Amino acid sequence: IPTTRLRVEPGESALLRVTLPALFAEPRVALSRVCAFLAGMSEDWMSSLLRRLFAFLGEEIGRKLWLERTGGSLRYVGDLLGLFGEQRWILLLRDGRETVASMAEHPTFAYGLLKREHPGRLNEGVERLKGGARGNEVLGWEPFARSWVWQVTEGLRQLEASASRGAVCQVRFEDLLAEPRREIERLGRCVGVGTGEPAWLEEVSRRVRVPCSKFSQLGTAERAIIEKICRPGLAALGYC
């Protein structure tokens, strides 16, 4: 997987930010091929178009199975289930306290919260983020914790209301770190890959790295704020 970060100019496709650089050594060439493929397609339902696009990209990189992972997608999982209800799903759960501590380090989350909850402070907040300020230094911890709780509770509600919930394979991030081979083998059975392939399991398991706990590095008062707000989400996921 290419590790060089691609500089994306204003107005260029968002596919050049993450998706194509992770798949192709020449992402702009790949984008041209994607555009040519899409240009030859007639108007169609979004689900059909995306299925054909995923199949095309799979052929381009020589893969038979597409695993799509989009961060924060739990908040609109109902729409995804409506488009791809017959597909197999993996619900990756993580302790919300660690998630919130991590969210504050990514300017994208802070920008979204500023735009949605504090539009009057958007320009000022963006300048501070550009200057290296962390999200919690701009907004405090409360908006990040509330956002996580809402995403979890709303996502679980949408999953519960869906007829596809029986096809959902749940795995905890903490279990994946503690027992990578066991959890990867279980995930492989869910999506139909790697079963009966010890060498593949061993190779993939070795790629798992245990990150440092960001939540435990926070001060007592900060941890207390996050813990209190996250409690409903933690309870919904069985963490407390």
pLDDT tens digits along 145-196? 999 999 999 999 988 887 655 578 889 999 999 999 999 999 888 888 877 7
3-state secondary structure of 228: helix
Which residues share a beta bridge with 171?
Answer: 92
pLDDT of residue 3: 40
Distance CA 166, CA 160 (A): 9
pLDDT of residue 2: 38
Distance CA 29, CA 27 (A): 5
55 Rama sector, left if φ>0, alpha if ψ -120 to 50, beta otherwise:
alpha
- Regions of the chain where pLDDT drops below 50: 1-5
pLDDT of residue 231: 97
What letter would DSSP give residue 214?
Answer: S
pLDDT of residue 164: 58
Distance CA 15, CA 26 (A): 13
Q: Is the pTM of this model over 0.75?
A: yes
Range 100-117 burial, b when 16+ CB lie within 10 A, else e: bbebbeebebbbbbbeee
pLDDT of residue 166: 55
pLDDT of residue 9: 63
Tally the residues of the chain: 240
pLDDT of residue 236: 94
